[in-house]
Structure formats: structure tokens, C-alpha cells
């Protein structure tokens, strides 16, 4: 899949060929050296589930999982991730069921406008993958890079607390 339009007007900037697995699907992509992972997703691939709240690493709305770990996709360049496995909010649910973290967010009303939500959920799933956040205080501290202007923090906390053990495979849903 070709991710970009040909350089307009004979622009001779180098494009780089990278291969990226996104939500389990392999992509061969031509990217410019300055394209962030976030813009690659949102603008080139029309995967707009990952949000842009600041473009400066200050809000967490763009959080995705690279090889299972949390990363602010606005702060990293796409070319740096050749060969990586990327998971975005679009890749968490299975065909017929929400991911346990997603289901917990719905159950606890852990969002209002929903704009910070993909980032919150990816962060929380990342915490599970990384084996972190084993207490309420740790959840609050480690989720603090994900701003929610709607102020859904306590419900997010409750959702994360409930779903983390399930995500770690420690309990049942």
C-alpha cells in the first residue's frame, strides 16, 4: 500500500521504504523523513482513531503501542519504526467483542467527548503489557500523561483498575 501521494512538483526529497505491521496487518510504506507516526496514521492511512491533541507530546491523545509499549506517536518519526509492530485503538477489539479495557471504559462511563479515549485505552493496555500499575496511586500517576479535559479521571481509574488484571491474564472478565 502506498501511503503518500508522489512528491508534488517534482519534489526530490528522499522517501524511505519501511515495513510496518499495523494491528496485525503488514504494510509496505513510503514515508518522508519528517512524517510523524501520528500523521502517517491519521493523514496518510486515514486511521483517525488515534487522536492529535497537541502534536507536542503534552497530552497523550496520540498514544499507540509500538511492540506492546506505550508511545506518543506525535513525538516519533515514522521512519524510525521500520519492522515494528504497531497497535492502535482500531486494533484492540476482536471481530465480535470489545477488548476488556474497552468494555470497562464503556461500563464505567470513562469518557465524555471521547477524544482522549483512544489514548487513555492504549496507555492502560500498555501498562498491562509492561506489567505496571499495581495500585490506585500507581494507576493515577502512570496515566497522568493522558489528559482528559472532560475530567473523566475517576471513571477512567475505575475502568483501568477493573480491567488491568484481566489484561494481564490474572483474572477473568
Partner 1 sequence: MTAMQSPVGKPLDRVDGPKKVTGQAQYAGEFDAPGLLYGSAVSSAIARGRILTLHTEAAENVPGVRLVLTHLNRPKMAGENDAYEDMDAADGAPFRPLYNDRVLYSGQPIALVVAEDLEIARHAVSLIEVEYDVESHETDLYAQLDRAHDAPAELPEARGNVDAALAKSDQTIDVEYRVPVEHHNPMEPHASTVMYFPDGSLLIYDKTQGTQNSQAYIEQIFGLEGQVRVRAPFVGGAFGSGLRPQYQLVLAVMASLTLKAPVRVTLTRQQMFTFGYRPRMSQRLRMGASADGKLQAIEHSVIGQTSRFEDFTEHVAEWSGMLYHCDNVALKYSLVPLDVYTPLDMRAPGATEGVYALESAMDELACAVGMDPVEFRLANYTDFNANEGKPYSSKELRACYAQGAARFDWNKRSAEPRSMREGHELIGMGMATGVWEAMQMPASAKAALCSDGTLRVSSATTDIGTGTYTVMTQIAAAAFGLPVERVEFRLGDSSFPKAPLQGGSFTVSSVGSAVQKACDALKEKIWEAARQLADSPLAQGAVDDLRFVDGRLQLGDSPEHGMALEDIVATCGPIEAEVDGKPGEAREKYATATHSAVFAEVRVDEALGTLRVVRIVSAVAAGRVVNPKTAGSQIQGGVIWGIGQALQEETLIDHKLGRYMNHNLAEYHIPVHADSPELDVIFVEEHDEIVNALGSKGVGEIGIVGVAAAIGNAVYHATGKRVRELPITLDKVL
**Binding residues for ligand FES (CB under 6 A):** 52-55, 57-62, 72, 74, 111-117, 148-150, 152
DSSP 92: S
62 binds, among partner 1, ligand FES, none (CB under 5 to 8 A by kind): ligand FES
Report which secondary-structure segment, H or E, holds 157: helix 153-167
Select 81 or 83, whichever has its Cβ closest to partner 1.
Answer: 81
DSSP 33: T
Q: Which residues of this protein are in contact with partner 1, per CB under 8 A? A: 4-5, 7-11, 32, 34-35, 39, 42-43, 46-56, 58-59, 61, 88-90, 92-93, 98, 102-103, 105-107, 109, 111-118, 121, 139-141, 143-157
Pairing of strands 69-72, 85-87: unpaired
How remote is the C-alpha of 162 from its chain's centroid? Answer: 20
Instruction: Measure the N-to-C terminal CA separation of the chain; round to a whole number of Å.
Output: 37
Select 53 or 165, whichever has its Cβ closest to partner 1.
Answer: 53
Amino acid at each position: 500500500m502506498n501511503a503518500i501521494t508522489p512528491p508534488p512538483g517534482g519534489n526530490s526529497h528522499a522517501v524511505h521504504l519501511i515495513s510496518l505491521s499495523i494491528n496485525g496487518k503488514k504494510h509496505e510504506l513510503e514515508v518522508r523523513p519528517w512524517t510523524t507516526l501520528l500523521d502517517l496514521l491519521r493523514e496518510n492511512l486515514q486511521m483517525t482513531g488515534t487522536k492529535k491533541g497537541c502534536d507536542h507530546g503534552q497530552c497523550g491523545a496520540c498514544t499507540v503501542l509500538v511492540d506492546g509499549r506505550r508511545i506518543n506517536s506525535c513525538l516519533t518519526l515514522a521512519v524510525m519504526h521500520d519492522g515494528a509492530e504497531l497497535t492502535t485503538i482500531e486494533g484492540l477489539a476482536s471481530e465480535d467483542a470489545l477488548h476488556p479495557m474497552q468494555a470497562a471504559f464503556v461500563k464505567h462511563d470513562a469518557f465524555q467527548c471521547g477524544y482522549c479515549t483512544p489514548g487513555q485505552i492504549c496507555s492502560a493496555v500498555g501498562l498491562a503489557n509492561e506489567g505496571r500499575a499495581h495500585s490506585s496511586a500507581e494507576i493515577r500517576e502512570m496515566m497522568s500523561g493522558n489528559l482528559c479535559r472532560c475530567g473523566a479521571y475517576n471513571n477512567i481509574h475505575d475502568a483501568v483498575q477493573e480491567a488491568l488484571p484481566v489484561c494481564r491474564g490474572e483474572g477473568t472478565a
